[in-house]
Structure 1
Amino acid sequence: MYKVFVKELPLILTNELSDIANSKYFLLNNGSVREAIEALAKKKLGQAYIYHPNHEEILKKFCKTIPKEIAAGGVVTNSEGKVLFIYRNDKWDLPKGKLDKGETIEECAVREVMEETGVQKLKIENFLKTTYHIFKRNGKYKLKEVHWFAMKTSYNGELVGQEDEGIQKVKWKGPKKIKKALENSYTNIKSLFGE
């Protein structure tokens, strides 16, 4: 099962018939996939399911309809145990970005955190999870697959938000401020903190 968010509403790709028993589900074809995304984007449905019997094939086939963009990012903790957040598009988010040709997912995650926040001396501790969401660019839907890593840093220099990426603020946040930030964040970001 894959949970793909469309405007914060779940589009669930599943091979389990029990998942879709009493729900609106769509077949895995071009027209149906777009219909499901539009229904969620316009908030006509609270959630939607796409069914395909083969779990191994479901994401691959979905990506034939909605092209995939691979990205990576980090949940960065400093020596005080605070977590690095960015603020853009009126939401608190975590630094992440698109994979460049020829780089590994890990290299992408470190580069994007550095570019978006100015933080140096990053060390990947472990892989956290992969999240999925649909976005629209130039009138076309795309699936963003984001690979998240837990990172540590001893950096205590200036935080600089990447202006051309629309980042207005970069902040270190402790437990209370993290909880507050997550109230104005994305479902995928909340999931990284177990919410």
Structure 2
Amino acid sequence: MYKVFVNDKPIIFTTSLKNEEDFSVYIYKNTIIKELIYKLKVGKLNGVYIYSNNLMEDWKDFKIKFKIITAAGGLVLNESKKVLFIYRGNKWDLPKGRVEEGENLMEAAIREVEEECGIEKLIISRELLITYHLFMQQNEYRLKETHWYLMFSNYEGSLTPQLEEGITKAEFKAEEETNKALQNTFANIIMVYKSYVNNTN
């Protein structure tokens, strides 16, 4: 299964005919993707399932319709198992950013977390997942593919939000604060957090 968000509304690619969310179901081969994206964007649909009998082939075909922007970021824990959040555009978020030329994904993830939060001593524990969302740039939709990593840091200094990127806060949150922040975040950030929680040993 693959999930792509348009304004926090999902396009779910699946081989299953189960419809747990009561979304409209489309067959990939019969679907005009641009029309679907428009309906999601303007609120005519809250989410859709796209049924495929060849998921890998149809997902590949979907991706080649867009310029892909590759990004990387981290869900960072400190020694108290608090989670590092940033606040930008009136939403809580996790630090992430575009991969630069010559970087690999893990290098980009660490650099972006360091830049956006002013943190040091980051160690990557493992991969978490990849999230996807569509956004408009130069009158065309781009597909942002973000690679997420679980990270750890025992850094005890003050955090410095990257103001020039519109980030006004960077702070570690305990479980109760985290749950509150997740009520004011993006759908793909909830996916990242659930991936961490569901795979905690």
TM-score by shorter chain over 0.5? yes
2:42 counterpart residue number: 42
Which amino acid in structure 1 is aligned with residue 171 of structure 2? K
Structure 1 Cα separation of the partners of residues 58 and 110 of structure 2: 30
1:150 counterpart residue number: 150
Displacement over 4 Å in runs of 4+: 19-22
Q: CA RMSD in A?
A: 2.1
Does residue 122 of structure 2 align to residue 122 of structure 1?
yes
Identity, in percent, stands at: 44
Which amino acid in structure 1 is aligned with residue 41 of structure 2? A
Q: Is the 8 A contact 2:74 2:110 kept in 1?
A: yes
Structure 1 Cα separation of the partners of residues 23 and 7 of structure 2: 22
The correspondence of residues 22-33 of structure 1 with structure 2, limited to 5 A, is 23-25=24-26, 27=28, 32-33=32-33
TM-score, structure 2 normalization: 0.88
Deviation of the 1:24 alpha carbon: 3.9
Q: Is the 8 A contact 1:33 1:50 kept in 2?
A: no
Q: How many residues align?
A: 193
Structure 2 Cα separation of the partners of residues 36 and 128 of structure 1: 29
1:90 counterpart residue number: 90
Deviation of the 1:139 alpha carbon: 2.1
SS at match of 1:102: coil
Gaps of 5+ in 2: none
Which amino acid in structure 2 is aligned with residue 134 of structure 1? L
TM-score, structure 1 normalization: 0.90
Structure 2 Cα separation of the partners of residues 157 and 189 of structure 1: 25
Deviations 1:23-74 (A, max 9, x none): 3426458x81111111101010111233443222223211221221111110
Gaps of 5+ in 1: none
Structure 2 Cα separation of the partners of residues 62 and 73 of structure 1: 24
Deviations 1:103-134 (A, max 9, x none): 11111110110011111110000111111111
2:69 counterpart residue number: 69
Q: Is the 8 A contact 2:75 2:193 kept in 1?
A: no
